[in-house]
């Protein structure tokens, strides 16, 4: 009996320790939400963003403030949605420990998310992409290719070549980011995105093999 009791004490102590070291807590203050409900989804990025997102939890919002807590398993791309009809409102990387979400009082889209290393890497990548003027240029060149495809084949080929150069540079910029962030979950997301864009898998495999083992295990579970 004493041995069983001792075993239960050790087990409970280990379980409590595990929960304390493997938990997440999201504290949010978005005044515009008022008194409503907010939903936390895990984005099944590897199968596409949409209805395949997995509902993890929800929380009541009181005067714009809310808290969501749970057991942390691994880094992942998550989204907070104000309603089930409002998709992809607040994207972030969920990490162990506390994540704070604060809104600019006047602009719903201006939301600051502070957490840890994973979120910082994701934020840096988002900023890199949002400030990349080449994206718009590439889109314009693609439009020009289609515009002159029938009427002026020479022009269409010229714009296609220019578009290919721009896209090549954009791909190289993303791969450069991956090389500098081999221990960040966002690197897995980038490689998955590039595969979907048709980038040579041999190139991506070389980059993947240089990621830390923990990320490879996450990728294997989700299979990109």
- The 8-class DSSP code of residue 99 comes to E
Task: Report pLDDT digits (tens) over 123-132.
Answer: 999 888 876 6
Would residue 215 be called left, alpha or beta, if left means φ above 0 and alpha means ψ between -120 and 50 degrees? alpha
- Mean per-residue pLDDT for 1-21? 44
pLDDT band, residue 145 (cuts 50/70/90): low
Would residue 16 be called left, alpha or beta, if left means φ above 0 and alpha means ψ between -120 and 50 degrees? alpha
Site of tokens 């002159």: 148
Q: What is the CA radius of gyration of the chain?
A: 22
Please identify, in words, the CATH class of the domain defined by 23-113: mainly beta
- Strand partners of residue 93: 77
Task: Share the mean pLDDT of the chain.
Answer: 78
Residue 215 makes CB contacts below 8 A (sequence gap 6+) with 182, 183, 184, 185, 187, 188
**Whose CA is closest to 23, among 81, 96, 88, 77?**
96
Find the range with the poorest average confidence among 99-103, 106-110, 121-125, 189-193.
Answer: 106-110
pLDDT of residue 142 exceeding 90: no
Task: Report pLDDT digits (tens) over 25-68.
Answer: 999 998 878 888 999 998 876 544 445 788 899 999 999 899 99
pLDDT of residue 211 exceeding 80: yes
Each domain of the chain, given as residue ranges in start order, spans 23-113, 128-222
d(C-alpha 157, C-alpha 144), whole Å: 10
């Amino acid at each position: 009996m004493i041995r069983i009791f001792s075993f239960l004490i050790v087990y409970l102590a280990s379980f409590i320790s595990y929960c304390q070291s493997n938990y997440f807590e999201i504290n949010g203050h978005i005044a515009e939400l008022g008194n409503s409900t907010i939903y936390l989804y895990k984005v099944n990025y590897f199968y596409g963003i949409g209805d395949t997102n997995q509902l993890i939890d929800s929380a009541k919002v009181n005067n714009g403030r809310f808290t969501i807590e749970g057991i942390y398993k691994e880094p992942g791309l998550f989204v907070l949605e104000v309603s089930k009809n409002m998709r992809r409102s607040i994207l972030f990387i969920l990490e162990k420990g506390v994540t704070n979400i604060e809104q600019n009082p006047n602009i719903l889209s201006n939301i600051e998310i502070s957490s840890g290393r994973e979120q910082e890497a994701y934020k840096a990548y988002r900023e890199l992409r949002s400030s990349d003027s080449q994206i718009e240029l590439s889109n314009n060149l693609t439009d020009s290719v289609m515009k002159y495809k029938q009427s002026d084949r020479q022009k269409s080929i010229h714009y296609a070549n220019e578009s290919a150069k721009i896209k090549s540079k954009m791909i190289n910029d993303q791969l450069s980011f991956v090389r500098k962030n081999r221990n960040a979950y966002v690197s897995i997301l980038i490689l998955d995105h590039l595969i979907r864009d048709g980038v040579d898998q041999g190139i991506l495999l070389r980059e993947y093999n240089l990621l830390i083992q923990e990320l490879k295990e996450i990728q294997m579970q989700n299979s990109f």
